[in-house]
Structure 1
């Protein structure tokens, strides 16, 4: 039986107050990893409190920083506070992002720039800030969250899909230029059971029917969980994945294998 052991390691995980980020933090903590999490919400937020509770029950240390990840000063604050608290950064899971669905014609310059700053630039800039700390022991790991929209998309998802597609190139470049001391891997989830995806279902006249239709489009006949994304991240961050870098893993329940109708 394969055991993922991240004891003694520290990970920065962005966007831990909900969704995938929370699931990643939980699964890394289960593997023994200390977690420095961040999000836009204050520490009193219910989602942040859940993050703290989930990490605490695993017996590891945590830190939460309320920041805007698109702010250069806030990114520096996150890295500095992590080093001051834990003395090291071994893993970066750059997860924070928001759906920016505008459409190619309707998209404004402001929406385009916000999308690029959050869903692409912030991953690169935070990785650069973490680089000196990640490479100290020669076994640093950067995991960048992209999306199934990097492989295929649907009408109206511009410019989000543009940024997510570009992350594949970012992953390749960082792996090539920063290896062998740092491995860089992308994770591209499909439909995951999060508040964001529920909002998508709720935008239809019959949310329950749309959810069922979506689940039926997957060979596994369901959508994924945040814990499943977190489990993949825990494996990729571990020594068991030491030969994996420069690639992006699609986890979409087989949806991309099925010709849509």
Structure 2
């Protein structure tokens, strides 16, 4: 089966680039009198792929946790599809598929059982949902292991299962925290091929990564944060114009060396 055909999991819906699916306005998050994020503002247009870039400790994971309603912003506001990320977090979670950097599973459940349990938690028919997911399971090369216990999965297999769980309920937004950490070259290619095809079906994707070549190939937009503050935002061409550099790795190094925007 053709990889792209196998990935047609989500209903077709036209991308609307002018609509802001993710809106972050003047967000500050303070822990113990220290600002993990300070006055961050940016938007992600619907149907686009946006890279969230920054050095380790820049605040990327904190920002993702705010979007998921796990944390509440000290100041400012985050809207997902027009809903408040914290106040409307139950409904927001129905519209977001989240893949953490280190997904955690029940060791005594198989991959299949995890998918069926998640389907039931989303109010979906478990058997019908698993049947709908089977082409995607095959595309991610997980079919031979789907009935094995999660405790026996490698790190890469856990990432694949985590991505399946993130996509299971057909979200409007995928939030992926370092999605290819620990993956081999083939699995990384499968992940990013799927992300590309998913966005082509109208799903918005926001992901963090340290792999600049993948950002250059996949992303339409990028947000760069440094020390919890915004360093730059915009299309890749706008970032090139801002720094006067063409290579994305050089752009990243230039932006993270600059004083963050006020």
Alignment TM-score, normalising by the size of structure 2: 0.32
Q: Which structure is higher in RCO with an 8 Å CA cutoff and minimum separation 6? A: 2
TM-score (norm 1): 0.32
